[in-house]
Amino acid sequence: MNIAECPSCGTLIEVGQKPKMGQQVTCTACDTVLEVVWLDPLELDWVYDDEDEEYFDEGDYEFEDSDY
């Protein structure tokens, strides 16, 4: 059984015999939905949801002329 740490609470989570990139698991301690983001070593991260992301373009910001 492959085990990874929950990034939210630190609990060790059993992921299964053959984890796959993008596989989703739920932490049994804090109920956070996580996904496999790396296989060796096995690593979990929060699920990225495109709908939660706000998209901005350069027109959304006002910049003063200056040398960066």
Is 19 among the domain residues? yes
Q: Is residue 37 part of a domain?
A: yes
Q: Is the residue at 65 inside a domain?
A: no
Q: Is residue 26 part of a domain?
A: yes
pTM for this predicted structure: 0.69
Which pLDDT value is given to residue 48?
80
The Cα–Cα gap between 49 and 18 comes to: 24
Question: Can you tell me the mean pLDDT for 43-68?
Answer: 67
CATH of residue 40: 2.20.28.160
Residue 27: what pLDDT?
Answer: 97
User: Does 65 score more than 70 pLDDT?
Assistant: no
Find the domain containing 48 and state its range. 2-60
Whole-number Å distance between alpha carbons of 60 and 55:
10
Residue 12: partners with Cβ closer than 8 Å, 6 or more residues away: 3, 4, 5, 6
DSSP 9: T
- Split into its structural domains, the chain has a count of 1
